[in-house]
Amino acid sequence: MKLSEVASLIGGKLHGEGSFEISGIGKIETARAGEITFISNPAYEKFFSATNAGAVVVSKKFNPAKYKRLDGREVPLIRVEDPYLAFLNLLERFSPKTELQKIGIEQSAVISETAEISAEEIRIGANCFIGEKVKIGKRVSILPNTVLLAGAEVADDVLIYPNVTVYPGCKIGNRVIIHSSTVIGSDGFGQAKNPDGTFQKIPQKGIVVIEDDVEIGSNCSIDRATMGETIIRKGVKLDNHIQIAHNVEIGENTIIAAQTGIAGSTKIGKNCMIGGKVGIVGHIQICDDVIITAASNVSKSITKPGVYSGYRAQPQMSELKQEAMIRNLTRKKE
């Protein structure tokens, strides 16, 4: 693809020779002569002086004069509003999706006679188990060793990677991606203490509902509700190794990084960003548009949008001021 065509594809303004042929994409540190790369994070601007890339997608504010090229070459630039989003479009263009497996049902798959499976572009891999009264929509890919237990519902355009288990009654919406070894609908952690000190299991009779356009990483556990529903709303993106307890609700377009744990009956709002290794206690509410930084612990409800951090999460500026005061006390003692 010619560089001028690339610029047109991503809606950018080209600075340089448009007839140059782009054969692929690459990281700015390792891109080859025929490849295009991008700079979104200012921390990577330093690589501009030495990159071998044939062209670079940059922001409208990027100033190449700050970085003298070691070889004296003028690297063609494509200026866009958001280099990261623009480069995502190029990833789709230069790295087309590959078919995960052939259309059809592998002979070793076990499928209940009462399961309802639409016939259009269905892929069910080897050793999958589809239980009683499971409903599977059109254009669904279920890779090997996946288990869908009785009454689970999978809508259209869903991709389920190997070794995923979906428990009875759980519902999965359209355009959902679930990565390997994730469990949807395992029992919530409900235990009642008896007078003699032993524990009695509280029956977990609810389900998990995953709405449209959700992606769930590998090795996540999303527990079924004690009663009612554990709900993952539309557009939520979950990283790997996340625990979501019974009756939790996560609002639309919220994104959560790895190793986060959310205790039971907590409600998280829309458009939130939760960093890695965050712990959130149960039975609280977090409002819309909240950012919680990595390794923070949330012990009470958050009612105002903003950035929160700390061992007991609080507005980040307050937490930073307290940390600075503690450091100053140490210096005074010295």
pLDDT score recorded for residue 333: 57
d(CA 264, CA 243) in angstroms, rounded, equals 10
pLDDT band at 237, cuts 50/70/90? Answer: very high
3-class secondary structure per residue, the chain: CEHHHHHHHCCCEEECCCCCECCEECCCCCCCCCEEEECCCHHHHHHHHCCCCCEEEEECCCCHHHCCCCCCCCCCEEEECCHHHHHHHHHHHHCCCCCCCCCEECCCCEECCCCEECCCCCEECCCCEECCCCEECCCCEECCCCEECCCCEECCCCEECCCCEECCCCEECCCCEECCCCEEEECCCCEEECCCCCEEECCCCCEEEECCCCEECCCCEEECCCCCEEEECCCCEECCCCEECCCCEECCCCEECCCCEECCCCEECCCCEECCCCEECCCCEECCCEEECCCCEECCCECCCEEEECCCCEEHHHHHHHHHHHHHHHHHHC
Which part of the chain is CATH 2.160.10.10? 104-318
CATH superfamily assigned to domain 3-94? MurE/MurF, N-terminal domain (3.40.1390.10)
d(CA 24, CA 34) in angstroms, rounded, equals 7
Active-site residues, by number, are 246
253 φ/ψ sector (left φ>0, alpha ψ -120 to 50, else beta): left
Which part of the chain is CATH 3.40.1390.10? 3-94
Mind listing the pLDDT tens digit for each residue in 242-265? 999 999 999 999 999 999 999 999
pLDDT band at 334, cuts 50/70/90? Answer: low
Mind listing the pLDDT tens digit for each residue in 258-284? 999 999 999 999 999 999 999 999 999
Mind listing the pLDDT tens digit for each residue in 170-213? 999 999 999 999 999 999 999 999 999 999 999 999 999 999 99
pLDDT band at 1, cuts 50/70/90? Answer: very high
Fold of 104-318: UDP N-Acetylglucosamine Acyltransferase; domain 1 (2.160.10)
Mind listing the pLDDT tens digit for each residue in 145-177? 999 999 999 999 999 999 999 999 999 999 999
pLDDT score recorded for residue 321: 81
